[in-house]
């Protein structure tokens, strides 16, 4: 079955934690301790989220991270895409020129993958951080 990566799981937990402390600057060490997550791994995850402009860092003695917009404005798909990229569930749905399945036109399983991908995308784009912290 489809598995969600630890990067996405930890990233979502980090974002939910920040959403629960919206407008506060939260040290990554605090998130690591409270959520029982690897600090080193969180540093890699937060770098991707910062690059996607979902979080911002504040340097200094009272530094840490904070959300760049309200939890109601951040959707789950933005977080997952920032961490995983916009890949398809299966290679043939990923798009681009890096993979072209020779059976694409006559594949009988393709309709299942398309339907599943659309359902997943729809679900992820309909859920905001504010809904997760209610």
Q: Is there a domain that residue 1 lies in?
A: no
Q: Is there a domain that residue 38 lies in?
A: yes
pLDDT of residue 1: 56
The domain tally of the chain equals 1
* CA distance linking residue 134 with residue 126, whole number of Å: 15
Phi, psi of 105 (to 5 degrees): -75, -25
Which structural domain, as residue segments, surrounds residue 106? 6-132
pLDDT of residue 103: 76
Q: Hunting for tokens 């009988």 — which residue is that? A: 108
pLDDT of residue 91: 74
* CA distance linking residue 38 with residue 2, whole number of Å: 24
CA angle, residues 61, 67, 72, in degrees to nearest 5: 155
Q: Is there a domain that residue 78 lies in?
A: yes
pLDDT tens, position by position, for the chain (134 residues)? 578 899 999 999 999 999 999 999 999 999 999 999 999 999 999 999 999 999 999 999 899 999 999 999 999 999 999 998 877 777 777 665 555 677 777 888 888 888 998 999 999 999 999 999 99
Whether the CA torsion 24, 25, 27, 31 is positive or negative: it is positive
Q: Is there a domain that residue 127 lies in?
A: yes
* CA distance linking residue 7 with residue 105, whole number of Å: 33
Q: What is the domain-level CATH number for residue 38?
A: 1.10.10.10
pLDDT of residue 45: 97
pLDDT of residue 113: 84
pLDDT of residue 98: 55
pLDDT of residue 97: 57
In contact, 20 and 72? CB cutoff 8 Å: no
pLDDT of residue 92: 75
């Amino acid at each position: 079955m489809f598995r969600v990566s630890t990067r996405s799981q930890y990233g979502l937990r980090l974002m939910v934690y920040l959403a629960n402390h919206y407008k506060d600057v939260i040290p990554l060490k605090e998130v690591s301790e409270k959520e029982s997550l690897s600090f080193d791994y969180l540093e890699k995850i937060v770098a991707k989220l910062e690059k996607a402009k979902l979080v911002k860092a504040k340097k200094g003695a009272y530094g840490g991270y904070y959300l760049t917009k309200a939890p109601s404005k951040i959707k789950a798909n933005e977080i997952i895409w920032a961490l995983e990229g916009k890949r398809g569930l299966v290679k043939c749905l990923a798009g681009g020129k890096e993979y072209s399945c020779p059976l694409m036109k006559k594949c009988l399983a393709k309709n299942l993958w398309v339907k599943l991908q659309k359902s997943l995308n729809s679900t992820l784009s309909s859920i905001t951080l504010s809904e997760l912290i209610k």
